[in-house]
């Protein structure tokens, strides 16, 4: 039976001692949280660690939630911060290999597509994903997180600012700088044929990135 309690009620129940409430809450949002963690970290192993850190932190800090934002916004903030902490600690600046099951769950995330796909278009889309996510992994963590939330997951700047715990202007600035840097990186990383036909004074914009499919997020906390 589906638990009809709201996110806020589930979190409050968890704080009050309901052993199952947090698991229900996490299950409700795990796919979106996993997509954000995967895009932010760049590979499934690091994403699993980042998401796990965030889930544990949310589990332990639930009593600090004061309702200033939606519960899902708060959960995203905790997970994104956990991922950024790992990136800063490891000083990750390299492009990581993409998971081999990238398209297994293409219905996850705000940029998903549906319907029959031409094999040639699918191959081109896979190459674009490789280039975009490889370039994305080279951005500073804060720019990467802003782009993931706003451009890839489709969150409004105002909500992304709450998740990143910064001003809206800061999110806009990070997105602007990130887009410019991403376009330049994509121009450098593009296949030789594409690069030859590109306008050097106008690097290509980042193409849309379908939602990466999970290799398997961590198990729910109990």
Assess if residue 208 is contained within a domain.
Answer: no
Neighbours of 28 (CB within 10 A): 17
Assess if residue 133 is contained within a domain.
Answer: yes
Tell me what pLDDT residue 130 has.
74
Choose from 45-49, 104-108, 123-127 the range with maximum mean pLDDT: 45-49
Assess if residue 108 is contained within a domain.
Answer: yes
Tell me what pLDDT residue 48 has.
95
Any idea what DSSP says for residue 151? Answer: I
Assess if residue 40 is contained within a domain.
Answer: yes
16-70 residue pLDDT tens? 999 999 999 999 999 999 999 999 998 899 999 999 999 999 999 999 998 888 9
Assess if residue 165 is contained within a domain.
Answer: yes
Tell me what pLDDT residue 15 has.
96
Range of the domain at 155: 7-112+122-196
Q: Count up the domains in the chain and report the number.
A: 1
Of 126, 130, 137, nearest in space to 182 by CA = 137
Give the separation between CA 108 and CA 203, rounded to whole angstroms.
29
**Percent of the chain scored above 90 by pLDDT?**
49
* Residues in Cβ contact with 131 at an 8 Å cutoff, skipping those fewer than 6 apart: 186, 189, 190
Q: Which residue has the higher pLDDT, 118 or 35?
A: 35
Could you tell me the pTM of the whole model? 0.68
Assess if residue 21 is contained within a domain.
Answer: yes
Assess if residue 206 is contained within a domain.
Answer: no
């Amino acid at each position: 039976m589906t638990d009809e309690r709201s996110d806020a009620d589930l979190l409050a129940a968890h704080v009050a001692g309901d052993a199952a409430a947090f698991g229900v809450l996490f299950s409700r949002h795990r796919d979106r949280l996993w997509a954000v963690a995967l895009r932010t970290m760049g590979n499934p192993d690091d994403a699993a660690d980042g998401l796990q850190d965030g889930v544990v932190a949310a589990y332990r800090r639930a009593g600090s939630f004061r309702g200033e934002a939606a519960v899902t916004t708060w959960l995203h903030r905790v997970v994104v911060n956990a991922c950024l902490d790992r990136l800063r600690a490891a000083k990750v600046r390299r492009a990581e290999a993409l998971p081999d099951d990238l398209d297994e769950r293409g219905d996850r995330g705000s940029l998903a597509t549906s319907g029959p796909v031409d094999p040639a278009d699918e191959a081109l889309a896979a190459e674009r994903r490789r280039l975009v996510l490889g370039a994305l992994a080279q951005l500073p963590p804060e720019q990467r997180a802003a782009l993931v939330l706003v451009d890839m997951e489709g969150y409004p700047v105002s909500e992304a600012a709450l998740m990143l715990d910064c001003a809206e202007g800061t999110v806009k600035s990070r997105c602007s700088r990130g887009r410019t840097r991403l376009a330049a990186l994509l121009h450098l990383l593009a296949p030789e044929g594409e690069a030859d036909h590109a306008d050097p004074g106008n690097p290509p914009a980042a193409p849309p990135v379908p939602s990466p499919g999970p290799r398997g997020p961590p198990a729910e906390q109990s």
